[in-house]
Structure 1
Amino acid sequence: MKRPALRSWLCAVLAFPAAAASAQEEAQPALSATVTLASEYTWRSISFSRRDPSLQTSVDYIRPAGKGLNLEAGAWLYSSKYEERPQISFDTGGYVGLNGPLADGWQWALRTMQSRYPQAKDWTYVEHSVHLSREADEARGSLGVELAYAYSPHAFGSGSRGRYLEAGLSMQLPAGLTLSLHAGRSLFSRPEQTYRNFNDWKLALAGQWQGFDIEAGWIVASHAAQFGRMGRPRAVLAVGRTF
């Protein structure tokens, strides 16, 4: 739902494209498209494809707004599955946002996104979020950091308010690899209408090969019993390419 490549389960590592823009460079308007094949489509460690492979596409646009600020917008489409043997459908969504630089390499961003679920139309909802991030700097020996807070007035189209707290660390390794650790906390004002509050964790290793972005990870969610096999600890893999 967190560069758009592999967004379904790697948003904390790859983030959105604008967040990684260098504050020292004069940005130019940029349009990119990403196609990804993932071992499954996950949302905060919960499978939205019943642990089946998912084809995912996204389009993202960034435009300088002056004084170091950037406007950003994008849309995505992911193949999903919500029942044992249903017809495969495609979840869609989009976002708009604004980001800019802070001191010492930090970036901030404000975003609003909407997700739509054709097989579960009542789930359509809007989420607003604020982000603080800093890229890993191998020369300075500093870790990459990603912090975020998200709020939805109607989580999954219900009467329950939803909040999400996120923190992530990343480290550059030899051979162009990146090791990352993510932790999140989902909170609902009316758990009986959505889910029990739960945590999610992810450990991932990312790299590039022949122009492809490749990431392998291990994801875990607390109170996983409420999601059945869709929330069990498991390995995930995604391969994507941005044009």
Structure 2
Amino acid sequence: MEIKMNQLFRKYAYGTLLASLMTFGTVNANAEEESAHSISANVLLATEYLYRGITQTNEDPTLQGGFDYGHASGFYIGTWASNLEFNPSTTDAASLEIDFYAGYGFGAAGLDFDIGYLYYMYTGQNEDAGGGDYDFWEIYGSVGKEFGGSLAPSVSVGFAWSPDFYGEDDDGIYVNGSFGMSLPAGISPYFNIGYQDVSGDKTTPAGFDYWHYAIGASKDVGPLTLDISWNDADNYCSGNQDACEAVVFSVSSSF
């Protein structure tokens, strides 16, 4: 089974986790009991790591990968990691992000649902550098619908909430919507839009909010998935727009 982080909450050119879970459940409905369990891995190389529209590698390349366990019932658990490059001019040495997540995907009334928990851990950080403790957790949920026909259009909406967002801020609320389809020659264009709102606390007393957008397309070539996207985040990087606007190319594979 191929398990990937949900596009609603991450930033890569990944297919949705929920779609993978639903496919897995269907394929295994009549399989032997021992085949209800699956372990998979994924790896991705990209020109830049964006999290909700914001660079996490100072516009440098990224290598990412993860491992996942899934069950035909819809339960999944996994971990994922990526290199980082935060605040290169400061004493903050955070260089690796490791995420841990667990959730449950299911279908009802012709819709696909996903709920889960996600913990972000940043190794090597210096909490005394003024940025606070980066580690935080979120709960998330999404609902999606895939339509039939030759273009197989799909839509999804989702949310994530954290009581103590990145950098020891207060509540963080994130909502996202996406649309995708399949064109001839195996090309799959997509559009994503997201809104992040963070209440003020240690690092941002006044709080902040912004929108971000992504327009891209992906194509499977043998065991690889090629993806290119244009990304932009409004009203966040007034001093360094390059940190919030990028064309990202990635090559990924799952096995």
Superposition TM-score, scaled by structure 1 size: 0.86
The question of whether the paired residues in 2 share the 8 Å contact of 1:6 and 1:238 is answered with no
Query: What residue in structure 1 maps to residue 17 of structure 2?
Result: 16
User: Identity over aligned residues, as a percent?
Assistant: 20
Counterpart CA distance in 1 for 2:135 and 2:209 is 20
Asked if 1:4 is matched to 2:4, the reply is yes
Report the equivalent of 1:53.
61
Is the contact made by 1:6 and 1:36 (CA closer than 8 Å) also made in structure 2? no
Unaligned runs of 5+ in 2: 30-35, 128-132
Corresponding residue number in structure 2 for 1:153: 163
Matches within 5 A, 1:118-157: 118-120=123-125, 122-139=133-150, 142-157=152-167
Q: CA offset at residue 136 of structure 1?
A: 4.9
In the alignment, structure 1 residue 43 sits paired with structure 2 residue 51 = yes
* Residue pair 2:81, 2:96 contacting (<8 A) in 1 also: yes
Check whether the contact 2:162–2:173 (CA below 8 A) recurs between aligned residues: yes
Describe the SS at the equivalent of 1:175: helix
User: In 1, are the aligned partners of 2:165 and 2:172 still within 8 Å (CA)?
Assistant: yes
Q: Which runs of 4+ in 1 moved over 6 A?
A: 85-88
Give the aligned CA root-mean-square deviation in angstroms. Answer: 2.5
- Alignment length, in residue pairs? 234
Classify 1:210/1:18 alpha carbon distance in 2 versus 1 (closer, same or farther; 3 Å).
Answer: closer
Query: Counterparts of 1:195 and 1:52 in 2: how far apart (Å)?
Result: 27
Q: Which has the larger radius of gyration?
A: 2
The answer on whether the counterparts of 1:46 and 1:227 sit within 8 Å (CA) in structure 2 is no
In structure 2, do the counterparts of structure 1 residues 185 and 5 end up closer, same or farther at CA, with 3 Å as the change threshold? closer
Corresponding residue of 2:77:
73
Does the C-alpha gap of structure 1 residues 159 and 196 become closer, same or farther in structure 2, counting only changes over 3 Å?
A: closer
Higher share of residues assigned helix? 1
Alignment of structure 1 residues 221-236 onto 2, 5 Å = 221-226=233-238, 228-236=240-248
Q: CA deviation at 1:135?
A: 3.0
CA distance in 1, matches of 2:48, 2:170: 27
What's the offset of the Cα at 1:4? 2.3
Q: Distance in 2 between matches of 1:157 and 1:87?
A: 14
The aligned amino acid for 2:156 is E
Q: Deviations over 1:90-145 (max 9, x none)?
A: 210110001111223x2101110001112446110000011101235334x55211
Larger deviation, residues 209-218 vs 150-159: 150-159
Structure 2 partner of 1:98: 104
Q: Which amino acid aligns with 2:254?
A: T
**Equivalent position SS for 1:117:** strand
Q: Which residue of 1 aligns with 2:88?
A: 84
TM-score of the superposition, structure 2-length normalised?
0.82
Residue 29 of structure 1: how far off its partner (Å) = 1.4
Paired residue for 1:208, among 198, 220, 232?
220
Q: Which runs of 5+ in 1 are unaligned?
A: none
Q: Summarize the alignment of residues 154-173 of structure 1 with structure 2, pairs less than 5 Å apart.
A: 154-173=164-183
Q: Which amino acid in structure 2 is aligned with residue 219 of structure 1?
A: N
Measure the CA separation in 2 of the matches of 1:197 and 1:137: 36
